[in-house]
Structure 1
Amino acid sequence: MARIDNLVIEFTEEDARPFHHPHDDALVVSIRVEDYNTHLVLVDNGSFTDILYYPAFWQMRIEREWLVPTNASLVGFGGMRVYPLGAITMPVMVGDYPQQIIIDITFLVIDCSSAYNAIVGRPTLNSWKVVTSTYHLMIKFPTEYGVGEVCRD
Structure 2
Amino acid sequence: MVTLRIGGYDVKRGLVDQGSGAEIMYPDLYKGLKLKLEDLVSYESPLVGFDAKVVVSMGQIRLPVQVGSEVVEVDFIIVDAYSPYTAIVVRPWLHAMGAVSSTLHLNVKYPSGDKVKEVVRSQSMAPNWMESSASAGEGL
Of 18, 22, 27 in structure 2, the residue corresponding to residue 49 of structure 1 is 22
The separation in 1 between residues aligned to 2:19 and 2:10, in whole angstroms, is 24
Q: Counterpart amino acid of 1:52? A: M
- State the partner residue of 1:146: 115
Structure with more of its chain in helix, by fraction: 2
Q: Counterpart amino acid of 1:65? A: E
Higher Cα radius of gyration: 1
Shift of 1:79: 2.7
Alignment of 1:1-150 (within 5 A): 28-95=1-68, 100-150=69-119
Q: Which runs of 5+ in 2 are unaligned?
A: 123-140
Give TM-score, length-normalised by structure 2. Answer: 0.82
Give TM-score, length-normalised by structure 1. Answer: 0.75
- Asked if 2 retains the 8 angstrom alpha-carbon contact of 1:33 and 1:90, the reply is yes
The separation in 2 between residues aligned to 1:78 and 1:35, in whole angstroms, is 31
Shift of 1:78: 3.4
Q: Deviations over 1:58-100 (max 9, x none)?
A: 11112221000111211123332101100000111012xxxx3
Shift of 1:141: 0.2
Query: How many aligned positions are there?
Result: 122
Q: Deviations over 1:20-75 (max 9, x none)?
A: xxxxxxxx211100111011111101111100112211111122210001112111
Superposition RMSD in Å: 1.2
